[in-house]
Amino acid sequence: MSLDGYVAGPSQSVDNPLGIGGMRLHEWAFALAIFREQHELDGGEINESTRVVEESLSNIGATVMGRNMFGGHPGRWDPKKPWNGWWGTNPPFHHPVFVLTHHERKPLVLEGGTTFTFVTNCIESALEQARRAARGKDVSLGGGAKAAQQYLVAGLVDEMEISLVPTLLGSGERLFDGVGDDLHGLELVRTVAGPQVVHLRFAKP
Amino acid sequence: MSLDGYVAGPSQSVDNPLGIGGMRLHEWAFALAIFREQHELDGGEINESTRVVEESLSNIGATVMGRNMFGGHPGRWDPKKPWNGWWGTNPPFHHPVFVLTHHERKPLVLEGGTTFTFVTNCIESALEQARRAARGKDVSLGGGAKAAQQYLVAGLVDEMEISLVPTLLGSGERLFDGVGDDLHGLELVRTVAGPQVVHLRFAKP
């Protein structure tokens, strides 16, 4: 999230899913060896942010994400021209992923253990399916902002990691729009300062 | 500033200058011995935030602030019924203060070394007057949001301390509204995690 509260820049599109300037929010992660490894890239650094990413990846049994994080507008989901979202043939999840959408679609089974299941009824159902699929491990809420807002307002978020990037985007998609005037039971429990990012961990007491 | 970017809550008024919920952004400070001492109150704690407040108070020779931080709407400035803003007869500044306003008024000389000078032409003039009055010491930009925004956009801020409070206000006055998509030369240089607040210091490299 930028210092002014945005998790994506303006003019998000299929060609630029993070919006103008949105990539600046992820540069700290792209610089890390642990992130590059997960995306099958060489090189990268080890710094204070490494253990935050390690924690966020450990013990995850399933992921829930919104439609935009899966792959943008539903026009891409034409069954005659299959679309695997942004994620290619071997997505970096390697576990079951549940996508919130209004458009029904059969599950997508990809290489490396990633499956995308499309949930059309409600966020509670997606979470329940993800919990069962995670078999005792944690469920990660991938994003984007709208999915995070819905789960926050419903009080269904047990832990939240904000990686705050010291820059402004000025416009775009705000993480906390419509969430109200409290954190729905979450409290700040840990702060880690990395290079050009501050990681704020929230949890229910 | 709240996690969602507000420095004051909604419905700001003469009776509630911080707006609904705005007081939550200052609780970390009110708990500190150093803050209470400055406002002639007993008690309070010493914690990680203490040195941040110490730094912010040290070597200040003059302060610039917006009209609202001085004392709300100009109706209060009726010369027949003098109004010293929120600050009483002995304000906690003890140095020259320059107030940005569109309403001319003679300087106000109060107890303890605080003077309020009202500057009606431009923010650059207020800064220049404050610089001269500071006699080599630093000039503090007190607030509120609109004054901060104007000086940021003009590139006139050399250092900025954001005390980020892990709560949401949901509406109110945003610190970075209209500031654009960069920090106008400022970079994150220091992070301090206090109890229920994270202090982010920005400076020009």
Question: Is 80 exceeded by the pLDDT of residue A72?
Answer: no
Which of A10-19, A140-149, B33-42 shows the lowest mean pLDDT across its residues?
A: A10-19
In angstroms, what separates the C-alpha of B120 from chain A's closest C-alpha? 29
Count the residues in chain A.
Answer: 205
Most A-contacting residue of B48, B49, B161, B168 (CB-CB within 10 A), to test interface: B168
For the stretch B45-89, pLDDT in tens is 999 999 999 999 999 999 999 988 887 555 555 555 566 777 888
The yes/no answer on whether domain A1-59+143-205 falls in CATH 3.40.50.2000 is no
What phi, psi does A96 have (nearest 5°)? -70, 135
Give the pLDDT confidence score for residue B52 in this predicted structure.
97
Residue among B166, B168, B175 minimizing CB distance to A180: B168
Give the pTM.
0.90
Q: Residue A116 — very low, low, confident or very high, per pLDDT cuts 50/70/90?
A: very high
CB A185 within 8 A of CB A159: no
DSSP letter for each residue of A50-81: HHHHHHHHTTEEEEEEEHHHHHS-GGGG-TTS
Q: Is B169 in contact with A176 (Cβ distance < 8 A)?
A: no
Give the pLDDT confidence score for residue A78 in this predicted structure.
56
Chain A residue with CA closest to B197: the answer is A188
Residue B184's closest CA among B164, B203, B161, B162?
A: B203
Residues from chain A that touch B21, judged by Cβ atoms under 8 A, are 181
The yes/no answer on whether domain B19-70+91-203 falls in CATH 1.10.10.10 is no
Residues from chain B that touch A176, judged by Cβ atoms under 8 A, are 3-4, 168, 170
Domain ranges of chain A: 1-59+143-205, 60-136
Chain A residue with CA closest to B172: the answer is A181
Q: Indicate the DSSP class of residue A15.
A: S
Q: Is A176 in contact with B3 (Cβ distance < 8 A)?
A: yes
Query: d(Cα B133, Cα B99) in Å, to the nearest integer?
Result: 13
For the stretch B2-35, pLDDT in tens is 999 999 999 987 778 889 999 999 999 999 999 9
Q: Please list the alpha-helical segments (H only) found in chain A.
A: 27-30, 33-38, 48-57, 67-71, 123-134, 145-153
Q: Is residue A178 classed as helix, strand or coil in its secondary structure?
A: coil
Cα A145 to Cα A22, A37, B83, B115, B169, distances in angstroms: 13, 26, 46, 47, 17
Residue among A168, A181, A200 minimizing CB distance to B181: A168
Report the pLDDT averaged over residues A64-78.
Answer: 72
Residue B41's closest CA among B33, B50, B53, B49?
A: B33
Q: Is B179 in contact with A168 (Cβ distance < 8 A)?
A: yes
